[in-house]
Homo-oligomer: A and B are copies of this chain.
Amino acid sequence: MPTKTFFNLPGEKRQNLIDAALREFSRASLADASIANIIKDACIPRGSFYQYFEDKADLFFYILEEHSARNREQMMSLAIKHQGDLFTSSAEFFESSLHRFIHDEQGANREFARNIFLNMNYKIEYKLILDVKNPTTRERIREFYRNYMGVIDTSGLNIHSEEELLHLIKILRAILIQNFIQFFAGEADEQEVLHNFRLELELLKRGLYTSRSHET
């Protein structure tokens, strides 16, 4: 987490630093980004940077969590909008995110997202979901999950417990992320990736076994 000092900074200076960081993290992945570039861009001395952040990752994950919080909010409001329909709201989330990336003229958000998804790993993914280090963020996300699962309408779903719902959400998330990755990797364009995602949702809904004898 950024230090108290960072939050005491005048708003403009703070925003200026964040903007510079966003530009750098749009240009390069966390691993390839350099503090040197950020402080040059933001015109702050090296020593100051370390007064605000532990290191590069500290700043990165702070920015990432801000974006993630907005995404969680959107997921929640879509779930509510669609009366708790998990599949429909997930699909709209995917579509609208994709649409936002594609029509991002400046390209800053898109490039940032590209670097996130193409370098997505456990630490990043679970920062999007469950921050391991920061207890406050962790609790925030836990709460989101509780609320989110409360909003989901399970009456149309073929699941029989909270546990199964959690696993379904886990599967959906994995598919969602995979498709974002394929989009950013250039493996599929907007139309293809939308088609793929929808197809995969249909497979999930439909079920993959014809012989139903295995059901318990």
Contacts and interface: CB of A to CB of B under 8 A. Distances in A.
B200 A170 contact: yes
Interface residues of A, number: 41
A156 B120 contact: no
Interface string A78-98: 000000000100000000000
Nearest to A177: B174
A209 interface: yes
Contact of A119 (B122, B174, B175, B208): B122
Contacts of A207: 158, 204-209
A119 B118 contact: no
A106 interface: no
Nearest to A206: B207
Contact of A122 (B158, B175, B181): B181
Interface of A: 31, 87, 117-123, 126, 156-159, 163-164, 167-168, 170-171, 174-175, 178, 181, 184-185, 196, 199-200, 202-211, 214-215
18 contacts: A87-B209, A118-B122, A118-B123, A120-B121, A120-B122, A126-B185, A158-B206, A163-B199, A167-B196, A167-B199, A171-B174, A171-B204, A174-B174, A174-B178, A202-B214, A205-B208, A206-B215, A207-B208
